[in-house]
Structure 1
């Protein structure tokens, strides 16, 4: 509903802190009343683009919040974005709206796997991948990530050894944790394996707009006809524009049979996306690119800062983060049973690597002000310095 012209953009100030205490924030309320900096769950501390706020206010002023249809305008904005960014042509009917990516993982696991089926899961991985497979009563087939040329990558030998047993492969691109951005030849290799072993592919691409290096995000479904026919792609504006609490996500499923299976699994269980999430998504896709560009520059600065600091702290290390605002830090040299719990005692709340399948790692969310990040890293350094020699 915003009438903002293309040459009017919001001015982003990512250094100004926003007080999120006592706002029912999952991230901040976890440590309410404690001197612990929340650097865990993946939302940022940045105020959203002004255009998003304006769109929400305009809709609130309308005063009626009844049952809502997803307008073709939002579908067309998504279609245009897929074309402009990825040269990927999708149709309105290919888009299925869902109220969250975790919901999408669960629907896909039920629709394409289920009891007696095996789901390939690259690990370490965002925890809901594993729980979605468990909820579907399917078997998890874990495939490790290994260090390859200074980045995290699927252990291809392990994947190929297990390929014949896999029915559905759950991809995360960019990968969470670690921030790996898949290259075209790697996606083509996965498509070849999918064809050879008759896999369906579910690709979580929620962090696709948060590429921090001179790399391109390539949707798996766009690499070939084989990939298109076997894919369910999950995307959202939520991580990109910090609107996860509004609940707007979508699946792009070009194969009609796969789309029917997905929709059938949703029936009577998964609600429609809400009115305010629609308005926020429309504003983000229509007016949010300048704000996003500024955020990317800020996150690059944070990423470079944390990589330099971690390199200088004895016992900690991390590979280069190509995408996302989530640093994946190896604390195995510290000899701690639970690194996240130890750092929490020094006032830094990190995601425990054990939740992702890597107990000696921690994940740090650097989608915050530089000042907060600096304070957190100072506390981490103090924690390491306090260990007995």
Structure 2
């Protein structure tokens, strides 16, 4: 089946978090990580079947979803995961907070690298932990870890390292060597890794491969909570279906018990959409990746034509991370909104001031119109 990713979907006045931010204004929203493409036909059919059944009661996880997920982890992550290791969640963000709550005591420390997706900053605080930030470093035009800084930040109270791979923002897919070095540091200091791998099926650079850090060894697997979901890949984030893979029995039991106390049950729509995505959505995903790669090439070229703008190629994700520090423009988000383009300010990503994030998971025609509007207010090189 051929999918039409060029089809314009009118999302205005639909209570869309992304589009209704600018309700009544002629602004193209390229901010939050929410694509403008229709989901795959099997997903839409699955949702329709739930509606036809007509009873919106509580659901448990379908056996077939568990089987399909285990199969996918084996095929895509080269990871043999017993189904008992999986804890189902209503979202990835709650999974971050749960990990911080389940590991260590009040006032223990959680390390993460910055800039980083906003909820990474909030999860430790919600769990009564102290947040410790370590900046990424730019090396060979690529954002990566500063291992010496990470080691220097570790104290006897460090309990968790929050990892994002592929990285948001910045799009880095970390290499096996980088992940092994991080794993060795965490093993040596008895630190649990909470690995957000939600963008792992959105690899743009075909020379790069996503590696789940938990697959490096049984030892590191026992000290890792891996968070995964079909939500970003298949554009079903609003439905809320994610899962954690937790090999350690004691940690998993604590995590699962706390999950059912603190979080809502997952809906039939979420379970059935996840099942359809993982079982029947690969054709859609491959066509999506081809479309995103073209959009990425276009945005990469255009962003680097603006004076003071610098965008590096992304390994993964549909979220361009653009350095605008040399542009010398105050209130750049406001200026772009006045031109009719809505982006995310780097400050939301904590220590990302001087950057902007632009979502190119939309129709190419909208991107072209957005670039045209930006050219009217920004100087070209």
Maintained 8 Å contact 2:147/2:182: no
Maintained 8 Å contact 1:235/1:250: yes
The aligned residue for residue 380 of structure 1 is 374
1:308 aligns with 2:325: no
1:197 aligns with 2:193: no
- Deviation at 1:59? 2.1
1:209 aligns with 2:201: yes
- Deviation at 1:298? 0.3
Listed one character per residue, the Cα deviations across residues 279-315 of structure 1 (whole Å, up to 9, x for unaligned) are 1011111110000000000000000111111111111
- Deviation at 1:233? 0.4
- Deviation at 1:336? 2.9
Greater shift in the superposed pair: 340-349 or 234-243: 340-349
The aligned residue for residue 275 of structure 2 is 282
Listed one character per residue, the Cα deviations across residues 49-108 of structure 1 (whole Å, up to 9, x for unaligned) are 011111111222122222111111101111000001121010111111110111111111
The aligned residue for residue 183 of structure 1 is 175
Tell me how large the CA RMSD over aligned residues is: 1.4
The aligned residue for residue 132 of structure 1 is 123
Maintained 8 Å contact 2:309/2:322: yes
Unaligned stretches of 5+ in structure 2?
none
The aligned residue for residue 39 of structure 1 is 30
Maintained 8 Å contact 1:325/1:366: yes
Which of the residues 263, 269, 281 maps onto 2:262?
Answer: 269
Maintained 8 Å contact 2:214/2:221: yes
Listed one character per residue, the Cα deviations across residues 124-180 of structure 1 (whole Å, up to 9, x for unaligned) are 000001011111121111010111111111122211211335310000000000000
- Deviation at 1:379? 2.0
- Deviation at 1:23? 1.3
Which of the residues 56, 67, 78 maps onto 1:87?
Answer: 78
- The total of aligned residue pairs comes to 378
- Deviation at 1:114? 5.0
Tell me how far apart the structure 2 counterparts of residues 344 and 40 of structure 1 sit (CA, whole Å).
Answer: 11
The aligned residue for residue 251 of structure 1 is 244
The aligned residue for residue 18 of structure 2 is 27
Maintained 8 Å contact 1:339/1:361: no
What is the TM-score of this pair, normalised by structure 1? 0.94
1:97 aligns with 2:84: no
Tell me how far apart the structure 1 counterparts of residues 313 and 151 of structure 2 sit (CA, whole Å).
Answer: 26
Maintained 8 Å contact 1:326/1:365: yes
1:360 aligns with 2:351: no
Maintained 8 Å contact 2:31/2:359: yes
Maintained 8 Å contact 2:27/2:340: yes
Tell me how far apart the structure 1 counterparts of residues 183 and 236 of structure 2 sit (CA, whole Å).
Answer: 32
Unaligned stretches of 5+ in structure 1?
1-9
Tell me how far apart the structure 2 counterparts of residues 229 and 278 of structure 1 sit (CA, whole Å).
Answer: 27
Which of the residues 130, 144, 148 maps onto 2:139?
Answer: 148
Change (3 A) 1:86 1:67: same
Greater shift in the superposed pair: 374-383 or 79-88: 374-383
- Deviation at 1:247? 0.7
- Deviation at 1:337? 3.6
